[in-house]
């Protein structure tokens, strides 16, 4: 086995390790919520669909608004309590996406999608987990204003963490969609794929939604077989992170490749092939002679790939 590269300090995983104490016990307590909203330390993120509204200030871009400032914006919809950060209440307010886009016109705000904010490092990284929480929640609200059971208009309750139907009495909870994202490995080699939407130089892990009634391990093996034709054995869980595009949870794994020949499912993948460890290390370090790259560190794929490059995988 060849020596394993050392790529230096590991960057943090973009949307994971949230500083938010969700304080879920306060959601149903109207008095506690009023007190949280009127707390002078309370701050709000403003989100319109894919767009995050940032205030332009002397010190750079600021994603935080006072409650009254946020409510005064045109086109506000639902408000939700995200939790406490160092004891200070943090909320999210939804804007109609058109209203958010309209704010681009003035000079007061920078209105940017969350992917760009994360990749370009436009604001402090500590805001990414609560923004992921808020964005996923706001997306869910926008899609559940009517009861999926009977079609009646639903009402926001529990500080934005539930919508109730006043007609059929159904209670609706925010959803999270689990996605398996995996790196098939065999000794010093791994399989990377390219989605049709990737930049031409970029290669990454394989991934797919976990289906109802399916275990994570089975989804990892099924997706790897379907997308790349590789038969897989043991699965090792690595880490997870929220991926609010719109409401996914990425569940990162390494998987033992038991077969060699790749058969690409072209509806899913533009390409897939085997890479050896040294080549992948150059891609992670952005030093590949042909300019091939791995994903950016805000994506869990970077960390799944890097962990294998530096540490290998113990399938137990």
CB of 149 to Zn ion, least distance (A): 4
Q: What is the rounded CA–CA span in Å between residue 246 and residue 268?
A: 19
72 vs 168 by CB, closer to Zn ion: 168
Residues in contact with Zn ion, shown as a per-residue x/- string from 182 to 221 under the rule CB under 5 A: ----------------------------------------
28 vs 168 by CB, closer to Zn ion: 168
Candidates 34-42, 157-165, 261-269, 292-300; binding stretch for Zn ion (CB under 5 A): 157-165
User: CB–CB of 63/57 below 8 Å?
Assistant: no
152 vs 287 by CB, closer to Zn ion: 152
CB of 153 to Zn ion, least distance (A): 9
Q: Is 163 in the site for Zn ion (CB under 5 A)?
A: no
CB of 157 to Zn ion, least distance (A): 14
124 vs 168 by CB, closer to Zn ion: 168
Instruction: Print the SS3 string covering the chain.
Output: CCCCCCCCCCCCCCCCCCCCECCHHHCCCHHHHHHHHHCCCCEEEEEECCEEEEEEECCEEECCECHHHHHCCCCEEEEEEEEEECCEEEEEEEECHHHHHHCCCCCCEEEEEHHHHHHHCCCCHHHHHHHHHHHHHHHHHHHCCECCCCCCECEEEHHHCEEECCCCCCEECCCCEEEEEEEEEECCEEEEEECCCCCCCECECEEEECCCCCCHHHHHHHHHHHHHCCCEEEEEEEEEEEECCCCEEEEEEEEEECCCCCCCCCCCCCEEEEEEHHHHHHHHCCCCCCCCECCCCCCHHHHHHHHHHHHCCCCC
Candidates 39-47, 126-134, 166-174, 194-202; binding stretch for Zn ion (CB under 5 A): 166-174
168 vs 215 by CB, closer to Zn ion: 168
Residues 124-153 that bind Zn ion (CB under 5 A): 147, 149-150, 152
Q: Quick one: which of 168, 215, 258, 270 contacts Zn ion (CB under 5 A)?
A: 168
Q: Quick one: which of 52, 80, 165, 313 contacts Zn ion (CB under 5 A)?
A: 165
CB of 155 to Zn ion, least distance (A): 11
Which residues bind to Zn ion, rule: CB under 5 A?
147, 149-150, 152, 165, 167-168, 170
């Amino acid at each position: 086995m060849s020596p394993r590269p050392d790529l230096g300090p590991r960057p943090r995983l973009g949307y994971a390790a949230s500083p938010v104490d969700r304080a879920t016990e306060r959601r149903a307590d109207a008095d506690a919520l009023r007190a949280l909203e009127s707390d002078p330390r309370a701050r709000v993120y403003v989100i319109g669909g894919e767009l995050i509204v940032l205030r332009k200030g002397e010190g750079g871009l600021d994603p935080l608004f006072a409650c009254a400032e946020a409510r005064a914006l045109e086109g506000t919809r639902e408000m939700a309590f995200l939790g406490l950060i160092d004891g200070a209440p943090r909320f999210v307010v939804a804007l109609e996406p058109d209203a958010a886009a309209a704010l681009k016109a003035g000079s007061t705000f920078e209105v940017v999608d969350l992917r760009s904010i994360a990749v370009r490092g436009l604001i402090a990284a500590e805001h990414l987990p609560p923004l992921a929480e808020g964005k996923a929640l706001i997306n869910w609200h926008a899609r559940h204003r009517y009861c999926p059971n009977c079609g009646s208009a639903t009402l926001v309750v529990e500080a934005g963490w539930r919508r109730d139907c006043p007609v059929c009495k159904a209670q609706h909870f925010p959803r999270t969609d689990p996605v398996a994202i995996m790196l098939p490995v065999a000794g010093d080699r791994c399989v990377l794929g390219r989605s049709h939407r990737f930049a031409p130089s970029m290669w990454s892990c394989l991934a797919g939604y976990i289906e109802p009634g399916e275990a994570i391990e089975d989804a990892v093996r099924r997706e790897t077989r379907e997308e790349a034709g590789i038969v897989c054995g043991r699965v090792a869980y690595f880490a997870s992170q929220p991926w609010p595009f719109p409401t996914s949870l990425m569940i990162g794994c390494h998987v033992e490749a038991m077969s060699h020949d790749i058969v690409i499912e072209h509806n899913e993948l533009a390409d897939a092939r085997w890479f050896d460890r040294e080549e992948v290390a150059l891609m992670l370090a952005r030093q590949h002679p042909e300019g091939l790259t791995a994903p950016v560190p805000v994506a869990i794929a970077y960390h799944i790939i890097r962990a294998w490059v530096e540490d290998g995988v113990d399938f137990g």
